[in-house]
Homo-oligomer: A and B are copies of this chain.
Amino acid sequence: MTDYKIQNVDAIRDSAGQACSMLKILANEDRLMLLCQLTQGEKNVGELEAATNIQQPTLSQQLTILRKDNIVKIRKDGKFNYYSIASDEVIQVMQTLGSLYGCNK
């Protein structure tokens, strides 16, 4: 190839890396469905199950992934576990996606 000017490739890759780890988590239909629901506010697992038709163990699994990456936070109340979105970045991306695909309507 010809010689072109190289400018702060590492900085760009670093940004891309950060954005990418978030996108990898969003890039799953179940998780996206769950986050869609949570953009409307806190919901417990049963509510999420009813709103998404995702079977319970799968749902719990995906919530665990979201929890571990600090995308959502949990609040326990009796035998119910309530989830809500914890990441401002995710809220913003979900907003953009919602306006493009209507997935948070």
Contacts and interface: CB of A to CB of B under 8 A. Distances in A.
A36 interface: yes
A13 B99 CA distance: 15
Q: How many copies does the complex hold?
A: 2
Contact of A29 (B16, B26, B56, B93): B16
Contacts of A102: 15
Report the contact-size class of chain A (Cβ under 8 Å from the partner): 35 or more
5 contacts: A1-B56, A5-B50, A12-B103, A16-B29, A27-B27
Interface of A: 1-7, 9, 12-13, 15-20, 23-24, 26-29, 32-33, 36, 45-47, 49-53, 56, 89, 92-93, 95-97, 99-103, 105
